[in-house]
A and B are shown apart, each in its own frame.
Chain A
Amino acid sequence: MAERAQAEKVAELTRVTRHYKMGTNVVRALDEFSFSFAKGEYWSIMGSSGSGKSTLLNILGCIDRPSSGSYRVRGQEVSTLDDDELSNLRSRDIGFVFQSYNLIPQLNVLENILVPLFYQDDPPPDGEERATKLAERVGLGSRLEHRPMELSGGQQQRVAIARALVNDPAIVLADEATGNLDSKTALEILDLFDELHAEGKTILLVTHERTVGQRAERTLRLRDGKIDEVLENRTGVKA
């Protein structure tokens, strides 16, 4: 773990608490949670339902804010940002991959990949070129004009991964990214994550499947909004 301390911390949570009011009860989804993810790491985040992993994912993805505590992305404090600044941060620094792909049905493959850039204040001039390259990178270079409905689940998830990479984000957040896929396609997607990891991307994979979780470099296991255990998955690192 020594070299981890040296690496740049892309996502750093300090004593993050997130509580919800459920009627008169207060539910602490995250409780004084402190952890940091370094650049280029590949983590899986696991835990039973109610362990707080979805809340952690929402906070990491900047679509939710901590009730208290500090969260920094690439050194920038998130908890004090207003809605617009938070949106900006998402369009620049976050890449989302969802369980149900969540492509926009009206848009074709290329347009779907371009969506995050569309919302940037100052989009890069080479956006289309970049999106085309990413589509080729995930093996869909010949289907740029297709609509999501015309693609298989695995292909849709590849488009979603390309979309998550188009803004060159600090972290790629994958929420049960293989949950809707058959096992063969799921393995292909996991292979793709391995490749991206090898290219130096920071990937956080939320899952409840042990086999999937073990593909990551390391696993962070949550329980009751706190860290349960941290595992090194030797098997997850390809030789």
Chain B
Amino acid sequence: MKGTFGRTVRLGVHSLLLHKLRSVLTTLGVTFGVSSVIAMLAIGEGAAKKAQDQIRQLGSQNVIMRSVKPPDDVVSGRETTRISSYGLTDSDFLRASTTFPGVKRAIPVRQLQQEVRLGMRALNPRVLATVPQYIQVTGRPLSEGRFLSDEDERRVSNVCVLGYEVARFLSPFESTVGQEIKIGPDYFTCVGVLLPRVPLGSDQPQPGADVTGELFLPLETGRKWFGDVQVKIRSGSRDMEEVQLHEVIVEVESPDNVLLVASAARHMLASQHKQKDYEVVVPLELMRQAEETARTWTIVLGAIAGISLLVGGIGIMNVMLATVTERTREIGIRRALGAKKRHITTQFLVECVILSVGGGILGVGLGLLIPLYVEKNYDLPAIIKATDPLLAFGISALIGIVFGLYPAWRAANMDPVEALRHE
């Protein structure tokens, strides 16, 4: 029996090569099916990972309260000067840090509208005034230097820490640590630079900002130099906003209490604020939502891929049935010369598997190219797991067997006498 299988495979290849175009067209169904399975898995995995990375950066144990400008504050077209007052207050922050159960600490953040300049280069990043613990709560890594310190806070020093993008924009080639950065009208000493982070969906550029970067000041320094009132100058109007705190990040002791704290925060804010000038963001909830979305997508894409594989399989079955009819006489000859039913079954099954696995290999190739293309052109990360091509390969072999069984069975069960008489 040695070499019998090899010979059967070779024979199958020979038979398929007799009709090259037909064979290639037959494999296309499986090719597209398999490639869509691989692409689907890769893109789905990538999207899920991206979402989770973003959310993890917000901190899965954090509850974030943010100030939101109320929607009814519409700016009229006329030249106006007015002050709108909204958002989180210092007393919100105090309540959050002292009265919520299971809170480890709360971090106040103020956001200022100031131009940042070093020499000839200027930009409008998110200028954040906050406390030294900010870096522990958000887990942002430092690139060089240090973050804000308690000492800075106490002495209300003129220091700042730059986000990576801001530092690179201001000084592309040399370190900014130790340099004097001009923020608004005053100079601040740069003491550190943070590492870049995964861009967040909430990082829309501020009006007039060219870089989605950040710059950090001590909270008290910010209050001292810039106060609570911000002036936004737009064409035709001058907006003044009074916001005490833009963001309060609440870090919860244990992950189990995150949802509890979130609901406490919502209740507290609802009772303290007359209008909905705040929002509560819970990264843990977002993460669950993202997982749910990713799962839905995987199911939808998987169903599409499954359907194309099914269609591919039916294509193979159809062609094999035609082939079996076409080769009835050959089957009769082989049976007369001593082929058992299982020989005939094997012969046709092998042909089906060659077709489907051939299609599968093409599909793996194509399926690896699609994520690359998508990644490059649509800014969607794609993650190809080593097991994906194997999985796709297995699926295609399985399709060959499943959809080849019936044609092979039909071939094997032909009456040899009838088959020989077939014209």
A225 at the interface (CB under 8 A from B): no
CB pair A104–B340 under 8 Å, yes or no, is no
Contacts of B334 in A (CB 8 A): 104, 115, 119
Q: Which residue of B lies closest to A90 (CB)?
A: B338
B333 at the interface (CB under 8 A from A): yes
- Complex Cα spacing A163 to B336, Å: 12
Q: Which residue of B lies closest to A84 (CB)?
A: B340
Q: A118-B7, A163-B337 are in contact. List 16 more A-B contacts (CB 8 A).
A: A61-B336, A64-B416, A64-B417, A83-B340, A84-B340, A90-B335, A91-B338, A94-B336, A94-B338, A102-B329, A102-B333, A102-B420, A105-B18, A106-B11, A115-B334, A118-B4
CB pair A63–B416 under 8 Å, yes or no, is yes
Contacts between chains A and B (CB distance < 8 A), count: 65
Q: Given that A63-B420, A64-B417 are known contacts, is A115 also in contact with B340, CB under 8 Å in the complex?
A: no
- Complex Cα spacing A61 to B420, Å: 12
Interface centre among A64, A106, A115, by most chain B C-beta atoms within 10 angstroms, is A106
Chain B window 332-358, contacts with chain A (Cβ cutoff 8 Å), 1 for yes, 0 for no: 011111111111000000000000000
- Complex Cα spacing A61 to B332, Å: 13
CB pair A119–B343 under 8 Å, yes or no, is yes
Contacting B at CB under 8 A, from A49-93, are 58, 61, 63-64, 83-84, 87-88, 90-92
Contacts of B179 in A (CB 8 A): none
Contacting B at CB under 8 A, from A136-151, are none
B385 at the interface (CB under 8 A from A): no
B140 at the interface (CB under 8 A from A): no
Q: Which residue of B lies closest to A87 (CB)?
A: B340
Question: Which residues of A does B touch, CB under 8 Å?
Answer: 58, 61, 63-64, 83-84, 87-88, 90-92, 94, 96, 98, 102, 104-107, 115-116, 118-120, 163, 167
Interface centre among A96, A120, A163, A167, by most chain B C-beta atoms within 10 angstroms, is A96
Taking the nearest CB of chain A, how far is it from the CB of B41, in angstroms? 38
Instruction: Give the size range of B's interface with the partner.
Output: 20 to 34
26 contacts between A and B (CB under 8 A): A63-B416, A63-B420, A64-B417, A83-B340, A83-B341, A87-B341, A87-B343, A88-B338, A88-B340, A90-B337, A90-B338, A91-B337, A91-B338, A92-B338, A94-B338, A96-B336, A96-B337, A98-B333, A102-B333, A104-B333, A104-B334, A107-B11, A116-B337, A116-B338, A119-B338, A119-B343
Q: Given that A102-B333, A106-B11 are known contacts, is A119 also in contact with B339, CB under 8 Å in the complex?
A: yes
- Complex Cα spacing A90 to B340, Å: 10
Contacts of A115 in B (CB 8 A): 334, 337
Q: Identify the 8 closest CB pairs spanning chains A and B, nearest first.
A: A91-B338, A119-B338, A63-B416, A87-B340, A90-B338, A106-B14, A102-B333, A116-B337
B330 at the interface (CB under 8 A from A): yes
Contacts of A58 in B (CB 8 A): 417
- Complex Cα spacing A122 to B321, Å: 31
Chain B window 229-268, contacts with chain A (Cβ cutoff 8 Å), 1 for yes, 0 for no: 0000000000000000000000000000000000000000
Contacts of A94 in B (CB 8 A): 336, 338
- Complex Cα spacing A140 to B352, Å: 34
Taking the nearest CB of chain A, how far is it from the CB of B336, in angstroms? 5
B15 at the interface (CB under 8 A from A): yes
Contacts of B335 in A (CB 8 A): 63, 87, 90
Taking the nearest CB of chain A, how far is it from the CB of B412, in angstroms? 10
CB pair B337–A63 under 8 Å, yes or no, is no
Q: Given that A58-B417, A115-B334, A118-B4 are known contacts, is A106 also in contact with B18, CB under 8 Å in the complex?
A: yes
Contacts of B329 in A (CB 8 A): 102
- Complex Cα spacing A56 to B167, Å: 98
Contacts of A120 in B (CB 8 A): 338
CB pair B18–A90 under 8 Å, yes or no, is no
Interface centre among A58, A64, A104, by most chain B C-beta atoms within 10 angstroms, is A104
Contacts of B15 in A (CB 8 A): 106
Contacts of A96 in B (CB 8 A): 336-337
Taking the nearest CB of chain A, how far is it from the CB of B29, in angstroms? 24
Contacts of B14 in A (CB 8 A): 106-107
Interface centre among A63, A120, A163, by most chain B C-beta atoms within 10 angstroms, is A63
Taking the nearest CB of chain B, how far is it from the CB of A90, in angstroms? 4
- Complex Cα spacing A158 to B193, Å: 89
